[in-house]
A and B are shown apart, each in its own frame.
Chain A
């Protein structure tokens, strides 16, 4: 816990070890005062300039916010087709608009908000969101994208405010804001219909409000205190409601709260009643409120999605009875199972499905060559079984016989209705699972042998000995071998139509895989009752949907031979994610962090650990430091510690996760590490400045350091995102005619550079790929500034050769080759209206041609 290191300073009384800072050391080293003194600008502001300062702070905040919004909303409508996971989340938004039930591994809030945004902006839910690259055409998608970008834009001001509060330093906050504004990864991730901007919004909101309420600690139970505390709770509910990753920020807030309460508890000036009040307030705002909100999102989710849809099969029979359009909805069937009933049997384990058989035999070499028995997720005639007595074969539906109910412990036969074969098991090994027995369909027209006998047992016997539809959990125990009918959940190969394996397991443990319930039930001799009485209560469906979500998350396992993103790839920006790229000619979106930002972050974490431990050890050794430094180290240890904890909590758990991971999972952690960078560099530069002691130079170093960091991040952004250049009017001029452009000094300079590069490329022609890469990016740049083929053809004739004198010494013996080569490129593509960067180098650089061309 970060605050644990506090307080050590005032207690230590030691003789001054080094004489250098003697006079300062005598000053009272109150923690808070020191921190403020350290953070304030050296020039103590006069009373009159106070208002100006406040105004300028607001102005800065407005500037940061504006910049963030401008970058996020710039060209938001492009590309006008589905990018990456928009296909999922857009689709789920549509499901909300259409009110059809679906299943997803994430909690519903994020998708609900997307749906709401779509609904409000006039999207009608008719777009299919089939696969990435599908054009939106007339469907209105900007509302959803705009909503995500809107939330994503808030990340920057939130981070700015958090850092400002933690470090009390404007420059640190500005640095953080710059890092996040100019980070291409954050930018890309905020622009599409994804859950991540929503999730990060809530995470940062929780962090900000937590920090704010921490700083209200001196006036507890005041209005701002309550406001920030409850806002923390609301944001936590939001974060958890979007993705389970929200648990990490909950953990962080929890740790912070525990440390906070621990501190209050140890404060003997507070009575126990007051401490109790504090505790109650936190329980209310940080536990009860978020839980209530979280549950409320689910309530809304279930209320909105009232129609049967693609997610039904994942849920239990009782759950499905809620959904209109499902065959269990408002159905009326006989309640108790009787001999002669036609039933379907569903496994209780999630996503296993119904007991199923069909007219296909197990293949040669896999147990006995008898009829296959599988489980199948979809409703089908082959799921129907007739329940019969084991010893008589008389038709129990004969009206002359009285109705006889099936009871717990009865010995029965299950006859497959379509094929009239009995459910059968024997001492043959199951097709996939070792040590389990094979289950088959056996016999002709219902006559089989003693291996067809099963004892039916009810696990939850509170309903008495009869077997109740939907509610009774039954086990089928094979009489001869004593094994239990179950499904292993493994997918059979092609011969089994990729349905799931059914086995008879000799291990008698009660697992869900071996427990079944009766779903459909047809028996003309019994009265039908309405199933509405069986509808599960809200807590039950809440619990069930969570179980299904957890199961789904666990199911997202990578296969052995697949390429997967590993957590250690992320901070070093090893590999990005392809968002969009339909074909080679279309322009592409690639999620990749700004290397300057990311590597700086990485460096900062190492540097932080180093400087933090040095400071901590120095404090533990009781080293006396001047108030200035003490304040700065407090900022570093407490503020930095908070943020570092956030980074660790949002990063390290991924190492333990077995599921498939993606690059974008790192982004919440990246926000925290950017904040750490801001705090660290600002503090370090201040410490440096303090060490040098002479003020003008010190300030110079501080300002120069911060500025160079700012510019560094911004520079790289422009290098990666040439699209943004016009936005900032960077090196961009309008020319009236092509000739005007061609004769301008900028263009000549440009050509000179191009020639240089091509020359270098020709010299090192072994490395063709880098040349190709260069040419592609060159093409992209041309396109960005709007170069048309026509302007190129003007240039072709006019420029390189005619302007040769201008190029001067650059025309080395090889250069004519380069110019020739350069001019040959557009010729090969005369019929195209625009230079498509991804195509033309490939044509020009046909591998077979090039060597002969260059010899």
Chain B
């Protein structure tokens, strides 16, 4: 225990100066003049408002990705003491003095800078030469698009960082596996793989694909592990000990268990990421507790759990809906807009434009604003009073109710008349007793959709209910169509006949609720200080809030289909497009997302060469011709699985996506190409160059190629940093492709 007293304490440190130098250069390139330009650049306008929401603790909903990415950016703001008071309204707006630009941009820049040494490490861990590793890092360093993207308040560089971290830590783990399984570093790297994967997923959904790739690679390795006969099953060692025959083999059999191996991987790569992902949302929901502009999209129960907003209204309202309750009914589906069941004095026009007739009864619509006409009274069909009786008679699942409109005292009715906009459904109206030609059909059976038992009571906010019409067994539904002018452009409500189909547009919940009381009751209640009231918000668990938020994020569709700088995935590989990020208000200094075209093109070439070589080797191996030694072949396959695979999973899914795509979506895929590039070069030099002379010539070519890449990078530097105002001629000279959109001021 006191050993350290007996022996001298010696710290031996190996410092890889290459690594230090690369890190330094990475930091320099990414952090240099970070606060310039002191204005909103491109998508900062978009992420910035979320940072402000975080600072002000206001709830928001963004469908672009899980909250971890936004939180990382907000952390920068928190460290810089940002108070959230800045109006992010247009690109190019000057930051006011309270915005800590440096610390806001710091974290993405750090992530971008650290990607450089990580590229070095990854290639090294893939067992390629030191030279190739430095090459990969240097390519990362001078890639203009990566620099631009890292220096701003954007998420791609963070995503790339975690992607690379996942790959690196898996490789470290995999290399540990051979030497010292279950050692501390083995556990560390395994866990870090899982953590990095979930962070990548937490930043953008695109991270899922890298995660999948890691899972597949891990699964293949685990499958080999199962087939590895030198590892014993659980408990098999014990059996072996008893049998004299196996004792000799004991030395061979490592006392490591396949099962433990599999379990450890499952925990680290499946359980930890899932837990972390939940944790991101947990923190997100803890941080954002105030109601804000995106409340409307969420359900009433969710809104009530936020401070302010709906909670202020619903606080202290009675929980159980009883006969005689006065309620507002909100459509759970909320598409195209959230709205409440509504009626007003006006009637359906006698004859529609297309000549069809209507019942000419009072309109029932769905209205997206709070209004006194949204109030309905739940009435017991067998009694006449519209107030609650004492004792309260709560409404239960399966009960027959009538819904009486509060302002007009007419009850909700549907009948076999075609609805105005959706003629295949029934019209819903508030019944007017013109004559007896059309009898009232105003009985509705209440169905609580999310009930736990069949006698459950209808609860404010929490219960999701359907109204099934008793006579025609049709269901009250929000059709989604807008009524024309006679219906004041409110939304149409219909009765839809269904057999068993379920759709959220038929589901409603009570949002505001009070007991209707007669005068004397009210006085008595005043004395008794009103009945026990339960706060509905407390009943919503984290998982319920999480699943709702997650679901809304996934299904939310924003329809900004076109953007000036949007592009298609095919244009990315050859860099046929760019994005103008920012233009100096007076001079022609400007920032563009524009890649180093030499690297882009050679990256794609390297990928093609890799694929061809791989196919060639594979076919020849199948015919039993081994061009590569076994270990070189295994390395070659692994690098393909990780780098070419990484490129594929980060690029190909975009072809299936329908959202607006931009050039920066390609950057994660590009980093994998950059990793592959030096590896392919080294392979060509090692295995395809036959003589020393060829090798030297090839090396010279590589050096020449790299210096041209450096030259291009340097030429494009003014567009990357935006620090130099170029003359129109110089700008025109930089427009190497017609499709590049470089801004030239007309003077």
Contacts and interface: CB of A to CB of B under 8 A. Distances in A.
Nearest to B501: A563
B453 interface: no
Given A265-B623, A507-B562, A617 B226 contact: yes
A622 B480 contact: no
B29 interface: no
A266 B227 contact: no
A656 B480 contact: no
Nearest to A275: B623
A134 B477 CA distance: 30
A560 interface: yes
Interface in B97-123: none
Contacts of B470: 847
A15 B496 CA distance: 69
A494 B470 CA distance: 35
Interface in B339-395: 353
Interface in A247-277: 262, 265-266, 268, 272
B229 interface: yes
Contact of B505 (A268, A505, A561, A656): A561
A471 to B, nearest CB: 26
Interface residues of A, number: 29
Contact of A622 (B227, B496, B623): B227
B498 interface: yes
A14 interface: yes
A559 B226 contact: no
A621 B353 contact: no
A209 to B, nearest CB: 27
Interface in A328-354: none
A266 B623 CA distance: 6
User: What is the interface of chain B mostly: helix, strand, loop, or mixed?
Assistant: loop
Contacts of A505: 562
A562 B481 CA distance: 11
A262 B226 contact: no
Contact of B480 (A15, A434, A561, A621): A561
Nearest to B471: A847
B235 to A, nearest CB: 12
Nearest to B567: A509
Most B CB contacts (10 A, CB to CB) among A15, A272, A620, A656 go to A620
Contacts of A326: none
B160 interface: no
Given A560-B335, A561-B333, A561-B503, A14 B229 contact: yes
B619 interface: yes
Nearest to B498: A563
B479 interface: yes
B478 A620 contact: no
B15 interface: no
Contact of A494 (B226, B245, B258, B484): B484
A202 B682 CA distance: 51
Interface in A421-435: 433-435
Given A494-B353, A575-B501, A559 B223 contact: no
B85 interface: no
Interface string A567-588: 0000000110010000000000
Contacts of B484: 494
A622 B232 CA distance: 12
A561 B335 contact: yes
Nearest to B477: A561
B262 to A, nearest CB: 10
Contacts of A620: 223, 226-227
A684 B658 CA distance: 45
B622 interface: yes
Interface in B237-289: 245, 258
Given A262-B622, A575-B500, A621-B226, A561 B562 contact: no
Contact of B562 (A435, A560, A562, A658): A435
Contact of A561 (B223, B479, B619, B622): B479
A494 B352 CA distance: 12
Nearest to A434: B560
Contacts of A617: 226
Contacts of B564: 506-507
A656 B657 CA distance: 11
Nearest to A559: B480
A297 to B, nearest CB: 29
Contacts of A435: 562
A11 to B, nearest CB: 11
Contacts of A658: 658
Given A268-B624, A656-B656, A560 B336 contact: yes
A506 B227 CA distance: 61
Interface in B451-510: 470, 477-480, 484, 496, 498-503, 505
Contacts of B696: none
B226 A265 contact: no
B480 A560 contact: yes
B462 to A, nearest CB: 24
A433 B478 CA distance: 25
Given A507-B564, A575-B501, A847-B470, A621 B227 contact: yes
A433 B233 CA distance: 65
A847 B400 CA distance: 12
B268 to A, nearest CB: 21
Nearest to A264: B622
Contacts of B623: 265-266, 268, 272
Nearest to A511: B562
A621 to B, nearest CB: 6
A274 B277 CA distance: 54
Contacts of A506: 564
Contacts of B333: 561
A514 B353 CA distance: 34
A262 B622 CA distance: 8
A270 to B, nearest CB: 10
Interface in B531-583: 560, 562, 564
Contacts of B223: 620
Contacts of A14: 229
A562 B562 CA distance: 27
Contacts of B227: 620-622
A437 to B, nearest CB: 13
Contact of A563 (B353, B503, B622): B503
B616 to A, nearest CB: 13
Contacts of A575: 499-501
Nearest to A272: B623
Contacts of B624: 268
Interface in B611-651: 619, 622-624
Contacts of B477: 561
B472 to A, nearest CB: 12
B489 to A, nearest CB: 10
A560 B334 CA distance: 10
Contacts of A847: 470
Contacts of A434: 560
B671 to A, nearest CB: 27
A414 B226 CA distance: 75
Contacts of B619: 265
Interface in A1-25: 14-15
B500 A621 contact: no
Nearest to B335: A560
A272 B496 CA distance: 66
Nearest to B353: A494
Nearest to A265: B622
Interface in A605-626: 617, 620-622
17 contacts: A266-B623, A268-B623, A268-B624, A435-B562, A494-B353, A507-B562, A559-B480, A561-B477, A561-B478, A561-B479, A562-B503, A563-B498, A563-B501, A575-B499, A578-B499, A620-B226, A847-B470
Given A265-B619, A563-B502, A617-B226, 12 more contacts: A14-B229, A266-B623, A268-B623, A507-B562, A560-B505, A561-B477, A561-B478, A561-B479, A561-B505, A562-B503, A578-B499, A620-B223
A-B interface, 4 closest residue pairs, ranked by CB to CB distance from nearest: A561-B480, A563-B501, A561-B505, A620-B227
